[in-house]
Amino acid sequence: MVRGSLFIKSLRDMRKSKAQFISIFIMATLAVFIMTGLDSIWFTVEKHADAMYRSANMSDLWVTVPNPSEQMVWGISKLDGVKLAEKRFTADADTALPGSPTLHVYALDGRSTLDQPEIHEGKFSKSGGAVLDISFAKAHNLKTGDYISIKLNSRWLRLKIDGLALSGEHVFAVKNSASLAPNHSEYGFIIINTDALKSIYGQKIYNQISVKTLPGSDIPQLVQKVGAVVGNNLIGITLQKDNGSVSSVNSRIQQFRTLSVVFPILFLLVTALITQSTMVRMIENQRSQIGILKALGYSKRSILWHYTSYGVMVGVLGSVLGLLTGPNIFGRIMVRQLNLTLNSYSLKINYLHFVFVLILILICTGGVSFLACRKLLSDAPAFLLRDKPPKSGQHIFLESISSVWEKMKFSSKLIARNMVKNKGRLIMSTIGVMGCTGVIISALTVRSTLSGISDYTYGTTFTFNQKIVLDTSKVNSTYLKNLELDGITQQIEETAVQVIFPDGSYKMELTNITTKESPLIYLQDIDGNPVSIPENGVLMTRKLCKEKGLKKGDIIQIKIKDKGYAAVPIEEIAYIASGQGIYMTDTYWESLGETFKPSALLVRWNGEPDQKFLDRDIVSDSATRESMQDGLSSSLGVVNLAVLFLIVLGSSLAFVVLYNTGMLNYVERVRDLATFRVLGFHNREIQYLVLIENYFSVLLGMLSGIPVGRFISWLIASTIDERLDLLGNIKLMDVLIAGAMTALFAWIVNKVIAHKMKELDIFEALKSVE
Amino acid sequence: MDFITFENVEREYCIGSSVIKAVDGINFKLQKGTFNVVLGQSGAGKTTLLNLLGGMDSPTSGRIIVNSKEISGMSEYDLTEYRRTQIGFVFQFYNLVPNLTALENVQLAEEICPEPLDARDMLKRVGLGSRMDNFPSQLSGGEQQRVSIARALAKNPQIVLCDEPTGALDSETGRKVLRLIREVSDDLGKTVIVVTHNASISEMAHTVLHMRDGKIARVQCNDNLKDVGEIVW
């Protein structure tokens, strides 16, 4: 029975201070929601992607080399730390489907074991048939048993679709670094048997060596040794982590990992502060009750548990609700939005982090109540039953400036004193508002920087109105020069070049080789000054330089076809918003011993596009600047959604915090306020006394939220995507919008509290002090 | 001219399904500038009467006229104005704002009243000239009640209402506080109504309203007022 009546008491107590309990409950829910939600996003992606890499038996590095010899493969496989080396062929191929989409072809030997497709339908027969990308098949309504034609080496190859599959190399499937979002109707993969290449090339043909390493081997050292084995034929070595899909997936994981640290910390900080102070306050208000229970003869333990259970119950309930909703709402929606092709989207929850947060919340609720209660319990019941000595007023600093203090009205004095007295609470709500403003500012900033990215890229940097992709086997630079198209043209070769950085790391970098004049690509440095492509060195984009710790004048080594490496100086650094890499002039490229083979022609037409030219067979594809800009913008939709989520969560947090502190400020001063009513203060005047404090913390919080927003923006900007160079500068407009939103929330909260305050019972003033 | 008039005033409270008549058909008249006592056991309805007169509550039926104005049936806003300008209130538990000094507690009256009295003067008058900058918690009960009296009078009201002003004080202090209320209100010509269950106070009042079960059982008028010092508690 003892427990029974105490339990009923705790339920009734909770009902009595339901506002506080509900706000603690909501805060616990929000904190766990955002934590588990964000966590589940990267955790789910990481787990499923890893599983796919494992089941595909994905290589650890790919060595691109034309026609690798058997000795070469054998030599690599005998290197220390290498488990297995196999040859394969890979290339992009056109298809005869509407819209002429591109398929990335992988040709594997019948006995190959590395980089296998994950078959979901049909089979991989390895005898003439093909396995097609399941998403691509869906987009084009293709089934097993259908036929598909691909064009390799200018010849068509008709293949029967034996199976549909996923590939670990196509989890994030984009055609090239210019496209930011996968489009399954435009790009996919197809896996065929190397025997099928005979009809095209007259023999089996290979251009890549897939290498599986032993766990724990020294990859950088291995890369060097592999380079030595391959010699001058080497085109480049790609590490697994540098594979387009793998690195995109990793950058998504990294991005949400960062977010799932930053935002939960912000939320937990506020939640911890608010819950612990609310709990302490509530326990202290139960002072005489504790005295009564103790006097009645309840054991210390049952009283302690009674009060601890308040916080534990609310904390556990809130956390569980957060755990149920966070991954399922936030996680589920966001994982879908990431546009990844995984073999499963079932959500994985990082229970370790959940338990950590739960413990933290329980410390802030139950733990704090336990300590507060134990402190009170150490006093004698008789002492507890006596009135608590009223909290004394305090002289404050402002009074020492008597010229100011004397002129202040009593209400301002009261507000000033009250704020000093409750500075803890003021700080809390300030932090709450700071978090809210910070989240909103950063969310808006990320949004506007991202839309700025496409504006900058296709408004400032690229000034062509059509990019024409050429069939490189049919054109050369001189031919293009003599075309006499009606408009300004610029030839460009886009290729990937193996680079050795001063720190010894190898990477295939996107390299643009173009003419010195560069009329249609306008490069600027970070401050907006024009930068031209140097004649005796290369230009590198700012983000890449930062990543590798490079500055003007540093030397990098680039692989020259059929030769060794050439040392080239970085002569210029330019800011490129989207698409990081290296720029150099055609003459410099040729001075290194290469040939300039333009892969695309940029054109700004004087009038209508020359349709006759576009229909010629040397043109393999073309895109307008508008369509490229649209593609870039729409790929950023996922960010807008995340932004919306964060704004909603940040605002709810601010709501709860302001409501909680506002209510506390009211509830604790009911007697004073009722006295004011008796003395003839109007409701409005009393509301002012209570609520003006909220506006103070809103103002302070908004101001301190600006640097927080800046920090978060910077953090997101620097982790969001390695191909994008976001500056994360906050705009005045975004700050103003965030400020206006926060102020609006504060106003709404104050309206709600003001409404509550109308219920103020004037007779509270006449009651004896409890 | 009668300053305060109660005509058939009733106040009913619904507690659950039962109706309780806290004040049950009260009639009385009080004169301006007098010192009056409402006497009765707890539950007799004297606090309800005080609340009605103080504009904190409205009667269920009947009329209350103060200074030629009917306050029964006034709107919430007008009642607040009435409390603000006409009423000074002395509470049993002083109800000082803990966060304001003695002086500031009195000054708050200045902010809301049209013709306030000087706060410093009032505090000097109640004998607290040297404790103005102390917070309530640094003052004794008697001192706090004196601040409360200074606050009530600084509003320069027509009526001073005291709800058991000595209830929380020892008898000696209580006596001093009462004398103070009496003296200051006499000086300023205020009408005072003290609610108490302490019968001995009645000897110092012009009019004593004896209440029982929500009704006025007896109205006692004293012609020879005793000084506070002569009263035996």
Backbone angles phi and psi of A25, in degrees to 5: -60, -50
Interface test with B, best of A395, A407, A410 (most B CBs within 10 A): A410
Please check whether residue A581 lies inside any domain of the structure.
yes
Parent domain of B140: 32-61+72-230
- B113 contacts in A (CB within 8 Å)? 680
Whether residues A565 and A503 share a domain: the answer is yes
Measure CA B64 to chain center: 16
> Of A157, A185, A215, which residue constitutes the final position of a domain?
A215
Closest chain A residue by Cα to residue B96: A672
Contacts of residue B102 in chain A, CB cutoff 8 Å? none
Q: Residue B2 domain-assigned? A: no
Sign of the Cα torsion A313, A317, A318, A320 reads: positive
E-only strand ranges, A501-649: 506-514, 523-524, 530-531, 538-541, 555-559, 565-574, 582-585, 600-605, 619-624
| H or E element at residue A212 | strand A208-213
Spell out a b/e string for A667-694, using b for 16 or more CB atoms within 10 Å of the CB, else e: ebbebbbbbbbbbbbbbebbbebbbbbb
- B174: in domain: yes
What domain range is A519 assigned to?
Answer: 472-616
Residues A57 and A124 in one domain: no
User: Do residue B155 and residue A679 have CB atoms under 8 angstroms apart?
Assistant: yes
Residue B23 lies in a domain: no
Q: Which of residues 195-214 of B touch A (CB under 8 A)?
A: none
Residue B16 counted as domain residue: no
Residue with tokens 């009513």: A677
* Inter-chain CB proximity B99 and A393 less than 8 Å: yes
Are residues A393 and B110, on separate chains, in Cβ contact within 8 Å? no
- What pairing do the DSSP bridges indicate for beta strands B159-163 and B87-90? parallel
Q: Clarify whether residues A666 and A749 are in a common domain.
A: yes
Domain assignment present for A229: no
Task: Summarize pLDDT for B83-124 with one digit per residue, the tens.
Answer: 999 999 998 888 888 888 899 899 888 788 888 889 899 899
Contact B136 A390 (CB under 8 A): yes
Rounded distance between C-alpha atoms, residue A711 and residue A720, angstroms: 14
A678 contacts in chain B (CB < 8 Å):
54, 56, 83, 89, 91, 95
One-letter amino acid at A167 equals S
Instruction: Check CB contact of B217 with chain A, cutoff 8 Å.
Output: no
Asked whether residue A244 falls in the same domain as residue A384, the answer is yes
Cβ distance A679 to B84 less than 8 Å, yes or no, reads yes
Q: Is residue A592 part of a domain?
A: yes
Domain membership flag for residue B209: yes
pLDDT in tens, chain B (233 residues): 688 999 999 998 888 788 888 889 999 999 998 999 999 888 888 888 999 999 988 899 999 999 889 998 899 899 999 999 999 999 888 888 888 889 989 988 878 888 888 989 989 988 888 999 899 888 988 899 989 999 998 998 999 999 888 887 888 888 888 888 888 888 888 899 999 888 888 888 889 999 998 899 889 888 777 776 676 66
Which of A215, A247, A265 is the last residue in one of the domains?
Answer: A215
B99 within a domain of the structure (yes/no)? yes
Chain A residue at shortest CA distance from B104: A410
Look at residues A588, A616, A644 and tell me which one is the last residue of a structural domain: A616
Please tell me the pTM assigned to this model. 0.77
CA-based torsion, A568, A570, A571, A573: positive or negative? positive
Q: Is residue A394 part of a domain?
A: no
10-residue mean pLDDT series, chain A (770 residues): 69 78 87 90 94 94 92 92 94 86 91 91 79 94 92 88 93 72 88 88 91 90 90 89 88 82 81 79 80 84 85 90 92 86 90 90 86 82 66 72 78 83 82 85 83 86 90 83 87 91 87 92 92 94 91 93 90 90 94 91 90 84 83 70 80 82 81 87 86 85 90 80 77 89 88 86 68
Q: Are residues A87 and A185 in the same domain?
A: yes
Using a CB-CB cut-off of 8 Å, the residues of chain A touching B48 are none
Domain membership flag for residue A623? no
Beta-ladder partners of B65: B5, B70
Residues A54 and A70 in one domain: no
Clarify whether residues A249 and A366 are in a common domain.
yes
Q: Is residue A230 part of a domain?
A: no
Up-side HSE of residue A107: CA atoms within 13 Å toward CB? 25
Number of domains in chain A: 4
Residues of B in contact with A766 (CB under 8 A): 47, 51, 91-92, 163
Q: Do A366 and A252 share a domain, yes or no?
A: yes
Asked whether residue B1 is domain-assigned, the answer is no
If asked whether residues A303 and A317 sit together in one domain, one would say: yes
- Please indicate, yes or no, whether residues A42 and A106 belong to a single structural domain of this protein: no
Q: Domains in chain B: how many in total?
A: 1
CATH code of the domain containing B119: 3.40.50.300
Contact B83 A763 (CB under 8 A): no
Domain assignment of residue B94, yes or no: yes
* Single-letter amino acid code for the residue at B20: I
Beta-carbon contacts of A35 under 8 Å, excluding residues fewer than 6 positions away, are A260, A264, A267, A268, A322, A326, A353, A354, A357
